[in-house]
Amino acid sequence: MTRALLVIDIQADYFPGGTLPLWQAEETEARIAAAIPRAIGAGDRVILVRHVSPAPSGLFAKDGPGIAIRPAIIEAAGDAPVVTKRFADSFQETDLATHLGGVDHLLVCGMMTQNCVVFTSLSRAADGLRVSVLGELCTAPTETVHRIALNALRSKLDLVTPDDVWG
């Protein structure tokens, strides 16, 4: 089985000082930064995703500082490819599929649980893959929104922990 860890939108705009700070963003980032070397050590691919808006201002403005992937994630991921998206679904109008050749199990984590994580995980473009969401490596605007989104996903796919995946 070949796995890939998809790390969605760990970008400056979701952190304190950004356009839309999320619940426990820094704690979630730290858990993801710790999980990436575990994935790499297990032979899993790591793929980063960043959202860039065509708008000149606001969330993920194309030329703004908010689109930057956080340094801890870049450092942990090394030379992992970065997929740029404009929609919640990381597959929609991107080259994500080209990075998944030979992959049969997609592990999804990141921001925002109720939006980009859900839409990517349930994308029709992922139909040929086993998809699992690493719930403790995701976050949303509030804890309640995060937990509701994970509860809804539970009926559609596997929710796993880093220890479930990498022991």
Give tens-digit pLDDT for 51-87.
Answer: 999 999 999 999 999 999 999 999 999 999 999 999 9
- pTM of the predicted structure, to 2 decimals: 0.97
Parent domain of 135: 3-166
- Is there a contact between 109 and 3 (Cβ–Cβ < 8 Å)? no
Q: For 123-147, what is each residue's pLDDT tens digit?
A: 999 999 999 999 999 999 999 999 9
Kindly tell me if the per-residue pLDDT of 28 is higher than 90: yes
Check which CATH number belongs to the domain holding 68 and give it: 3.40.50.850
Structure tokens at 42: 């297990």
- Number of domains comprising the chain: 1
| Beta-bridge mates of residue 13 | none
